Amino acid sequence: MSDQPVNTLLQPFTLRGLTLKNRMVISPMCQHAAIDGQVQDWHLVHYGKFILGGAALVWTESTAIASDSRVGIADLGIWSDEHIDGLRKLADFAHSNGALMGVQLAHAGRKAFSAPLWEGGHALSPDEITRSEISWRRVGPSAIAASSEWSTPDALTVAEMAEIRQQFVDAARRADAAGMDAIELHYGHGYLVASFLSPHANHRQDEYGGTRENRMRYAVEIATATRAVWPSNKPLFVRLSCIDGVEGGWNLDDSVILARELKAAGIDVIDCSSGGLSEEVKRSNVPRGIGFQVPFSAEIRNSAEIVTQAVGLIVSPEHANEVIATGQADLIAVGRAALRNPYWPAEAYRKLSDSDGFEAWPERHSAWLDKRQPMLRRFVGDEAN
């Protein structure tokens, strides 16, 4: 009997009323290409590549639920009904090519408004934001800056928290109107909800601060409210920093407990990321390497008994397949690997199946590739594969 893992990466997976054609997902990646939150031609081409590339589910970048909740000024938005038509174009193209489209709903909180990575990724100063003519405000659970680079956020009142919770709800309704198949609530990377979870960022003295149960309360409330308006046949994900990356901060045991609460609130999948809380507190030693976040996914999947999505330095289909086959995750999200090769999922079929054809490619591409293959074999032999 072969010791090789079963090729489960290629198998379909059902979540509520939707079936993913395989276990391969494209992770959210900020593009900083929107104008007033609106989808541009860049997004149609950017996401279209992954849709044609064979992924089962493609996530939008961090998509802002309010104009002042953006990670960057040029993020996609879903704070207005005017954003629906552009997002619908993405969903329609995905559906016409056998893929599903999801939208990541986000509020950046005290880490709102930063420059694109190619411009240094620094926090924008109040003057830089004001010159953009955006009405903006950094907010958090407490008046504690993410680092010396960031301005001090306003501590949210309970009434303001309720308004933001409603913004998530309104965004979910717009996502459904746009034909999106799934929602991911962004609870990671030091953004608003993650800062509520952290004892370093959250020094509140009310029912949303202090104990772990209190610090989790807002995350559970947002999930519950979103699930109430999101169609019952559509799955709801949460991206979670399973550890926040600082000593004495949010840890994996905390994430297991939160995952159980989120499952009870109607969350279907935990997307297992890490880090991003702060530059000002001592970091915990989290060695980075190939698949370094997979153990977080495995622990949450098995201890909280919830579906998980693994992400982070998963670069080969063989490794991704092993993660699925050994029960460490149910879905694999790739980001930068797909930027290098948008056909990463389609290539996985060739590497992990018995076929040397191009069945996983769109027929408008596969016909040409199949036609060339016999000639390539004559010239280069097995390297044609």
Round to the nearest angstrom and report the end-to-end CA distance of the chain.
26
Evaluated on CA atoms 256, 261, 262, 267, the torsion sign reads: positive
What is the DSSP annotation of 234-285? S-EEEEEESS-SBTTS--HHHHHHHHHHHHHTT--EEEEE---S-SSSPBP-
Distance in angstroms (rounded) separating the CA atoms of residues 350 and 334: 17
Catalytic residue among 191, 218, 343, 349: 191
Under 8 Å CB-to-CB from 290, ≥6 apart: which residues?
Answer: 313, 314, 315, 319
Question: What are the beta bridge partners of residue 14?
Answer: 19
Active site residue 191: yes
Helix, coil or strand: residue 59: strand
CA distances from 146 to 105, 138, 195, 206 (A): 21, 10, 9, 21
Please list, in sequence order, all residues whose beta carbon lies within 8 angstroms of the beta carbon of residue 280, skipping any fewer than 6 positions away. 145, 146, 147, 148
DSSP state, 187?
Answer: E
Instruction: State which amino acid sits at residue 35.
Output: I
Helix axes 158-177, 84-96, angle to 10 degrees: 50
Half-sphere exposure for 340 (CA within 13 Å, toward CB): 9
Indicate which residues carry an active-site annotation. 191
